[in-house]
Structure 1
């Protein structure tokens, strides 16, 4: 079974190049997922 982890970055409160908060959403995906 190959398992892959996908991450999505969301940044909040950005001024120019500085951001106050960065939230990272990560989830695993597999080829044999039977339940979500």
Structure 2
């Protein structure tokens, strides 16, 4: 178990929370609309 999503290597946290581009992850259109 990880204490934070950023510590879990298979989490989409890096992409969805801080905007890191990861080739395997498609950004959610609703998240993109938030700004």
Structure with the higher fraction of residues in helix conformation: 2
Using the size of structure 1 for normalisation, the TM-score is 0.14
Larger radius of gyration: 1
Using the size of structure 2 for normalisation, the TM-score is 0.14
Which structure has more relative contact order (CA 8 Å, sep 6+)? It is 1
Structure with the higher fraction of residues in strand conformation: 1
